[in-house]
Structure 1
Amino acid sequence: MILTSFFENVQEIPEEFVTATLETLYMTVLTCLIGFTLGIIIGIVLVLTQPGGLKENGPVYYVLDKIVNIFRSIPFVIMMALLVGVTRFIVGTSIGTTAAIVPLVVATVPFFARQIQNALVEVNPGVIEAAQAMGSSTWDIVSRVYLREALPGIIRVSALSIINVIGITAMAGTIGGGGLGNLAITRGYNRFQGDVTLVSTLIILIMVFVSQAIADRLVKKVEH
């Protein structure tokens, strides 16, 4: 009875919670698919062109490194504002769940690229040198040495990045992106419906815990 009275507002809008949850999952999954793909590519290029890398290239590394640092430093809310024109050009609108994916991807790529770079540089240099001595091509070393040896680390940073994406999807929702963040603000905060804000937060936390649990299990399988 106490729970029923406390979650009175939540009980009135179950369909809105379902829609908001699906919107958050949609933004998270699509952002991760696009952002992680681009992030892996950029992370690999950073490792290959860095000082001492297999394809050392000072100018390329310097420019790419600075671009990653700059975009990582821009707060997401400002990023959304800066990319309004780009978002409207790509999607046709700057408001809505699909439109939010553009700044979400732009914010995710540099963050994930740096995480991938950090995971790859942890690979034992001796293994790389052995592969080079055997005449392996750069692509072979990337695919069979770097990515394989760094797989546990890549899974860990992927989990961290997914959690980060879930967090910024909630932020995107507060300014018209839809999802649980939008529901928590428009219905929970603006209408003083604390139970709506609480349940929205709990659903986001469940997504985070599930993502981390899956990643932990995958790491255990890979390491054993």
Structure 2
Amino acid sequence: MSDPTILLVHGAWHGAWCWDAVIPLLEAKGRTVHAIDLPTVHAPNKAELGLADDAQAVTDAAAAIDGPVVVVAHSYGGVPTTQALAGAENVVHIVYIAAFALDAGESLLGAVGGEAPSWWMVDGPLTTAGNDAEPAESLFFNDLPADVASANVARLQSQATKPFGEAITEVAWKTIPSTYLITEQDVIFPLFAQEALSGRAGSTVHRLDTGHSPFLSQPEATAAIIDAAGR
């Protein structure tokens, strides 16, 4: 039987592009990989969209794959992934990378204290990341060279605000085995919060000495953790 297909789900403000360093490493290991763009970041009408739209995108992408699937979710991507995959018959494992593995009734905004962090630039229905005092380079890419960090920041887009405050109603990690990757130098996601979430569903836990984006700063190690999941 062939290895499960890998489905990659990015976090807020990002896109499928953030996995570009990891995908060829996984393919070199013989894995089939798909990466999706979430509609609340990339759809033309994203200002109108919410968590259900991102969850549907994850559901559809997993259902379109013939055979078993390992779904990998980063940061906010863990929210629609958790909502979407409850009851997904072909998903055999979830990998949460510094991700919000929420329980029913919880929202991302609630998980960060109920108020938007100071570096969220909320403009009504859309939110961008970073400001002069807290630049996105140091938030997302603090362990990357300055020029590489700046190049990645230039690719970030606005994100619909609505899904941050919406609670999930279905919880995939209660029925699907999971792995949690803790990023120990993460500026955005405090270590204690990641450790608390990593204990859910008896997850297999890995740790890397990276910032919030280990798929960019340590792609080989990240790819190895993904490749081992669900086997």
**TM bin (shorter chain):** under 0.3
TM-score (norm 1): 0.27
Indicate the structure with greater helix content.
1
| Higher gyration radius (CA) | 1
Indicate the structure with greater strand content.
2
TM-score (norm 2): 0.26
